[in-house]
């Protein structure tokens, strides 16, 4: 509806401009047909040109017809939004971008044929570019659903048909059955299929894809993808629900094990004739930074992402497929964030090849696209880095660097999981030492804090996981496991210390990984984390918190030695100065937050009495006014507001995007 409205304004401006009568024969014939078929109708819902346009203004006749169809497109969309039905038929409105572009291209060609190319290259060419770029939907919407939800739907179908439980089948059997159905023609979705709310939700989404114009959508992304059957299942569901132009299906490999098996999964898909016919030589694969970091720690995740991209690019090359890697980066370093230019230049050689797709997360959209000049800066960064990567590919790691990284990644993952997954006290410590519980209860996130109820850290999404540690300035998911990996490498062979320094100085991937880590240490403060522990953590858990803070300090020291820096951020004085200026403000907010959490969790906690306010600020009615501020809060007066303000302030002060 909004797109049609914007285009109507543009078309009316063009109608003013293109008043000439001289045109080519093709356009003249079309204009005469439209003029004679329109009769003597008068359309009074336009500001200008509402009477029938004379045939000696052929461009205006054509554009007037386009405007009529845009009007119908807008009104039909408005009716559908309001009541779900419209008397205006789809035939009398635009349903495809080609249909909209055709009359505009006809006008452009006619102007060029008549020697008016200078006019054609003005407002008309601008409009053509806008239509080509934004289509009839302004923005294409990607569809995203978890692989398990598709498995539930297929399992319900196979169980209902009496051929067994799809969920219990091994991967080979799943692929065999899905491919036999995709190659066949029999319908699979019975009208009497027993459906839970979740199954109805997934099938309903596919039916909406079938209803709306194809240019409304980007690809269909499968989060938590694990195997080729996940992709084939979505292809089958698209066919069963009547999606006429199926969306390209993009597997999103997130967890460590899934990234390790990603190249084999992609190779299996490319070895299937049916699938190769379907993709026409193009494939997108998404790699997830957030959940891989949450699963194995930042160092191991970064290395596995590097290897998976490298191997998938080699597979695609063997099969002659143009592979576009889609990077699911978050804003913070723990979720794959970092300076755009460096992040792209640190990708493995031969993995970009002139095309890259990247998510820009909600929390950083303002910094990247908040103002016009920022949009251009952001796009320039992406373009420059993508071109540079192709023209001057980054250095390939030496075999000994790879070997050392493989060994360190194993140690880092083991250390990370020994704390986060295997340590019995960890979940209780995490929930008491950070504002995670309160964050989950407040409706301030872009999505629910958990994928499903219960499950401890496993079901918690990567956003609240990282966000909670950022609030306490401890950043545990970013550095945990790194110190142990460095220590292992140096203890195994003293010469590895020099190898690590060489990797830092010569290998862009390793340097960027360590530089981002150093930046996180510059923003962290174990003293602040200690304050949260002191106020919020049970006595028996305090020694555990102390052990973690000791590991933090040890990791920071090892990092500085490998980078060859005496002080933190020695190589980036500009950022260092910025942090020096910001820290006093963030520290104040941290103290406010820690004490607020204490008061929320312990109603008997008494804050030390403050000196009385000066006379001009003293107001006996202040507490009563405070209660009215947020009457819906389940917490005592003012505490939820204080918590939200400190959360937003600390997050803004951290600016963990680099």
**Which residue reads 């998404």 in tokens?**
286
Strand partners, 249: 220
* Distance separating alpha carbons of residues 62 and 24, to the nearest angstrom: 13
* Distance separating alpha carbons of residues 221 and 249, to the nearest angstrom: 6
Q: Where are the beta strands (DSSP E) in 274-329?
A: 282-288, 322-328
* Distance separating alpha carbons of residues 376 and 361, to the nearest angstrom: 18
Q: Please check whether residue 258 is in contact with residue 224, taking contact to mean a CB–CB distance below 8 angstroms.
A: yes
Q: Please check whether residue 476 is in contact with residue 462, taking contact to mean a CB–CB distance below 8 angstroms.
A: no
Half-sphere exposure of 548 (CA within 13 A, CB side): 29
CA torsion sign, 353 to 359 to 365 to 370? positive
* Distance separating alpha carbons of residues 654 and 553, to the nearest angstrom: 19
Take residue 117 and report the two structure tokens written for it: 């190319």
**Interacting residues of 69 by C-beta distance below 8 A, sequence separation 6+:** 92, 93, 94, 100
Take residue 468 and report the two structure tokens written for it: 């909670």
Half-sphere exposure of 537 (CA within 13 A, CB side): 24
Take residue 324 and report the two structure tokens written for it: 């576009």
- Cα angle for residues 469, 471, 474 (degrees, 5° grid): 45
Please, where are the H alpha helices in 442-541?
456-459, 462-471, 476-479, 482-492, 496-506, 508-523, 526-536
Catalytic choice (173, 185, 294, 606):
294
Nearest to 325 by CA among 346, 353, 360, 364: 353
422: annotated active-site residue: no
**Which residue reads 């006749």 in tokens?**
61
Take residue 363 and report the two structure tokens written for it: 């929390």
- As annotated, the active-site residues are 294
């Amino acid at each position: 509806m909004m797109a049609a409205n914007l285009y109507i304004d543009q078309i009316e401006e063009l109608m003013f401009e293109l008043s000439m009568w001289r045109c080519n024969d093709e356009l003249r014939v079309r204009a005469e047909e439209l003029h004679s078929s329109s009769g003597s109708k008068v359309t009074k819902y336009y500001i200008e040109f509402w009477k029938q346009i004379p045939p000696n203004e052929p461009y205006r006749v054509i554009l007037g017809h386009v405007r009529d169809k845009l009007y119908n497109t807008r009104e039909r969309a408005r009716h559908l939004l309001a009541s779900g039905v419209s008397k205006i038929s789809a035939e009398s409105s635009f349903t495809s971008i080609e249909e909209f572009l055709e009359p505009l291209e006809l006008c452009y060609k006619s102007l060029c044929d008549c020697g008016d190319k200078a006019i054609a290259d003005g407002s008309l060419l601008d409009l053509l570019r806008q239509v080509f770029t934004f289509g009839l939907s302004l923005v294409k919407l990607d569809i995203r659903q978890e692989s398990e939800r598709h498995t539930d739907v297929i399992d319900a179908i196979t169980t209902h048909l009496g051929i067994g439980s799809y969920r219990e089948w091994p991967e080979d059997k799943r692929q065999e059955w899905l491919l036999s159905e995709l190659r066949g023609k029999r319908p699979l979705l019975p009208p009497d299929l027993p459906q839970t709310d979740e199954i109805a939700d997934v099938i309903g989404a596919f039916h909406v894809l079938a209803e709306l114009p194809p240019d409304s959508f980007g690809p269909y992304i499968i989060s938590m993808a694990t195997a080729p059957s996940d992709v084939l299942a979505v292809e089958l569901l698209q066919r069963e629900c009547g999606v006429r132009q199926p969306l390209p299906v993009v597997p999103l490999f997130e967890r460590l094990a899934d990234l390790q098996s990603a190249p084999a999964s992609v190779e299996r898909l490319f070895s299937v004739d049916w699938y190769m016919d379907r993709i026409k030589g193009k494939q997108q694969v998404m790699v997830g930074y957030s959940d891989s970091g949450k699963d194995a720690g930042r160092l191991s995740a970064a290395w596995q992402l590097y290897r998976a991209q490298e191997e998938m690019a080699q597979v695609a090359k063997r099969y002659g497929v143009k592979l576009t890697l889609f990077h699911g980066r978050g804003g913070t370093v723990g979720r794959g964030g970092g300076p755009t230019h460096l992040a792209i230049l640190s990708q493995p050689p031969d993995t970009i090849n002139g095309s890259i797709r990247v998510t820009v997360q909600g929390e950083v959209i303002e910094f990247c696209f908040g103002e016009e000049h920022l949009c251009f800066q952001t796009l320039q960064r992406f373009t420059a880095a993508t071109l540079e990567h192709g023209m001057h590919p980054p250095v390939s790691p030496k075999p000994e660097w790879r070997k050392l990284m493989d060994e360190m990644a194993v140690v880092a993952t083991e250390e990370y999981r020994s704390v986060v997954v295997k340590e019995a006290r960890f979940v209780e410590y995490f929930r008491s030492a950070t504002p995670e519980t309160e964050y989950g209860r407040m409706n301030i996130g872009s999505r629910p804090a958990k994928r499903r109820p219960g499950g401890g850290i496993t079901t918690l999404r990567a956003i609240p996981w990282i966000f909670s540690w950022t609030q306490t300035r401890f950043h545990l998911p970013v550095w945990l496991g790194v110190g142990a990996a460095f220590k292992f490498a140096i203890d195994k062979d003293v010469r590895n210390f020099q190898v690590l320094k060489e990797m830092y100085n010569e290998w862009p991937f390793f340097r960027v990984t360590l530089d981002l880590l150093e930046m996180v240490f510059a923003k962290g403060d174990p003293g602040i984390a200690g304050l949260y522990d002191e106020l919020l953590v049970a006595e028996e858990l305090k020694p555990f918190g102390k052990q973690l803070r000791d590991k933090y300090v040890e990791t920071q020291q090892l990092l500085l030695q490998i980078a060859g820096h005496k002080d933190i951020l020695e190589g980036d004085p500009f950022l260092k100065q910025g942090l020096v200026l910001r820290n006093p403000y963030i520290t104040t907010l941290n103290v406010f937050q820690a004490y607020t959490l204490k008061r929320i969790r312990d109603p008997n906690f008494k804050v030390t009495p403050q000196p009385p306010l000066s006379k001009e600020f003293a107001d006996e009615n202040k507490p009563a006014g405070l209660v009215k501020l947020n009457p819906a809060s389940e917490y005592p007066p003012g505490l939820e507001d204080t918590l939200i303000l400190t959360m937003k302030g600390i997050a803004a002060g951290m600016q963990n995007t680099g």
